[in-house]
Amino acid sequence: MTNRLAEESSPYLLQHAENPVDWYPWGDEAFALARSRNRPIFLSVGYSACHWCHVMAHESFEDEETAAFLNTHFVAVKVDREERPDVDSIYMEAVQSIAGRGGWPMSVFMTPAGEPFFGGTYWPATSRFGMPSFRDVLEQIAELWTGQHGTVQEAAQRLTATLRNADEQRQRPTSPADERTLISAERGLIRGFDPAHGGWGEAPKFPQPSVIEFVMRRYQATGEQESLTMIDRTLEAMAAGGIHDQVGGGFHRYATDAIWLVPHFEKMLYDNAQLARVYLHAWQLTGNEDHKRVCEDTLDYLLREMTDPEGGFYAAQDADTGGVEGSYYVWTPEQILAALADAGAQDPEADGALFSAAYGVTTDGNFEGSTILHATLSREALAATFDESEDSIDRRLCDIRVALLEARGKRPRPHTDDKVIAAWNGLALGAFAEAARVLGRTDYGAAATANAEFLLSQMYDDPGRLWRTWSAGTAKIDAFLEDYACVADGLIELYQTTFDTRWLHSAHELAETIVHGLVDPSGGFFDTGHDHEALILRPRDISDGATPSGSAMAAYVLARLAEYFADASYARLAHDAVQEVGSLMERAPLGFSNWLGVLDFMLAPPMELALVGTCPGAMLDVVRRRYRPNLVVACSSGAAGADGVPLLKGRTTVGGHTTAYLCQQSSCIDPTTSADRLEVLLQGIG
């Protein structure tokens, strides 16, 4: 017997469509029922690749007795946090206020008016380790609702007032953001860095691509060795660890330990899009070929497993297969030998010995009797151990990985959440577009173009209105600030790859929607438009997390478009937004790393390069070979101004040759037709 979630398109909601719980999707029907029956609402928020969401569903939501009690005393509402980041953000703050921590599954009890009064995360089916059972919690809440109704209502109103007050406090101006902010933030990152294993923080340890990106900006600006050490140590440790899929490419969500060995095995589009770009930039910055390989392996994984035929990129892959976490990814020596034999290897034993030495495979394993692959020996050490050249070792390991990937493909696969999320696709679009031009990969360029076509045809309504999600041919839910900003950023990157002005003008349209529908008159941006559903407060999440905050990305997009379109109002909005979070960037650089990148861009200040003539050509080769995060590039092969890009207006070729105009703060260097001269002029420019 199905419930109302069977009519939804979200893979996460559909996972609960057969529950005996009488689930409602978020909407007026659920709240009207709660009001008419004077019942509290139980809100459960999660996502399809969430391991503990699956555990709680199996233990409690599939249990007939628990479901019956829930149906009798509550109105049960299920939300996919990836579809509704506004709902997730507001009630996560409530849970953190109540419980001191948050996470998913998120479990919230609230009044029919949507005001929360109690909450937590995962509760087990039976009490253990000091945690009450979910059934105990339900019974206590039901008893309080009927026996102390007035007290519960007062608690809900107080908590809601606290949330609103906290939101107002965040919007107060802070100390100015300037060069000292960047220096102070960098020092804070140096103090918190893990020199032994790379990264920041203890277990669980998360990849933090935007933090690494900021450190790369600082190294570009200062040349400080400490910054380079943080970059290389972190990227090398993650690439060698179990968090990195050594066979199929791409990265898992996070490591459960401090050494990057044991991952939580879910894979998210946003992690892989951002990490691919970071490794690409690190290769440009350092010339380390290993960084380039990781970038390509990650993007190749997204092309192979996470791309919809229509052109969108899927959201996530589950950590579990058949209810067992990680089983798809781990290996035993016997499985490796069998895979090599099936692939027709000439000497499976020798290849198995090499691979096991390279990736730490043992009989006992390191994870429930199997081995999470992790790089244990360098190519130099392997070459010495097996008396072969490094090139030979590389070729053999590559062939072995191909064989293992083919064998792994025959295993039961983790579930793929095949909904397309606009913001995350914008991040992927930017990664593919930039990698296409830097690496010369036409397949990456084709994927980026197909994705942009998809977003603008399937998830976009003129004029400038975007949808949040797409699944099975249907787009729905009004887009949020992060969607507009991330897609606009991706389109700018695609423009800088193709110089097709439709992508730049589409980014400009999305920016106009931000300016006219999402700007907070008191400073910064709202996450939701004025015509979004009204919740208990209008969310305005300014901190960076696993993805850039919508506000930080919006500021970056406006700052870049200000250079292309000579729009001082865009630059002013970006500047004012950054100033709103000035002191926060210094105090908590890990939580405001994207903002720090925007500040760096604005303080540099950005350089504008207008090319007129052959695009691409020798001039662009010079531009693209190095990491230049604060350079804005436009190119036209047509008549001056014909592209409708003010940065190109009035620019003409000199002597019929491709000509470069390099400018900064309205001051331009004499145009040059020499690629060598351009390279000299660009030295030291970010």
What pLDDT is attached to residue 342? 96
Distance CA 582, CA 257 (A): 32
The model carries a pTM of 0.95
Confidence class for position 640, pLDDT limits 50, 70, 90: very low
61 residue type, one letter: F
Looking at the predicted structure, is the pLDDT value of residue 1 above 90? no
Q: Is the distance from CB of 80 to CB of 141 less than 8 angstroms?
A: no
Distance CA 190, CA 651 (A): 44
pLDDT tens digits along 538-577: 999 899 999 999 999 999 999 999 999 999 999 999 999 9
Q: Is the distance from CB of 14 to CB of 5 less than 8 angstroms?
A: yes
Most confident of 272-276, 523-527, 655-659: 272-276
Phi and psi torsions of 378, nearest 5°: -70, 165
Domains of the chain: 4-170 (3.40.30.10), 604-686 (3.40.30)
Mean pLDDT, the chain, whole residue set: 94
Looking at the predicted structure, is the pLDDT value of residue 617 above 90? no
What pLDDT is attached to residue 463? 77
Confidence class for position 69, pLDDT limits 50, 70, 90: very high
Mean pLDDT, rounded, for 659-686: 86
Distance CA 271, CA 276 (A): 8
Confidence class for position 171, pLDDT limits 50, 70, 90: low
521 burial class (0-12, 13-18, 19+ CB within 10 angstroms)? exposed
pLDDT tens digits along 591-615: 999 999 999 999 999 999 999 988 8
Looking at the predicted structure, is the pLDDT value of residue 196 above 60? yes
What pLDDT is attached to residue 642? 53
Q: Enumerate the H helices of 409-538 as residue ranges.
A: 422-439, 442-458, 481-498, 501-517
Distance CA 174, CA 94 (A): 24
The 3-state DSSP class for residue 633 equals strand
Looking at the predicted structure, is the pLDDT value of residue 686 above 60? no
Looking at the predicted structure, is the pLDDT value of residue 99 above 60? yes
Q: Residue 388 corresponds to which tokens in the numbers above?
A: 């072969």
Q: What is the percent of the chain with per-residue pLDDT over 70, rounded to a whole number? A: 98
What pLDDT is attached to residue 428? 98
DSSP 521: T
Q: Is the distance from CB of 168 to CB of 542 less than 8 angstroms?
A: no
What pLDDT is attached to residue 130? 79
What pLDDT is attached to residue 571? 96
- Give how far Cα 48 sits from Cα of 52, 103, 318, 459, 560, Å: 10, 14, 7, 21, 35
Q: Is the distance from CB of 125 to CB of 60 less than 8 angstroms?
A: yes
Looking at the predicted structure, is the pLDDT value of residue 639 above 60? no
pLDDT tens digits along 294-343: 999 999 999 999 999 999 999 999 998 888 899 999 999 999 999 999 99
Q: Tell me how crowded residue 402 is: count the other CB atoms within 10 A of its CB.
A: 12
Q: Which residues of 560-587 are buried (b: 16+ CB within 10 A; e: fewer)?
A: bbbbbbebeebbebbbebbbbbbbbbbe
Looking at the predicted structure, is the pLDDT value of residue 486 above 80? yes
pLDDT tens digits along 348-374: 999 999 999 999 999 999 999 999 999
Q: Is the distance from CB of 553 to CB of 489 less than 8 angstroms?
A: yes
pLDDT tens digits along 41-62: 999 999 998 889 999 999 999 9
Q: Residue 622 corresponds to which tokens in the numbers above?
A: 């010079």
Beta bridge mates, 569: none
Residues 6+ apart with CB under 8 A from 105: 44, 45, 46, 50, 52, 53, 56, 121, 122
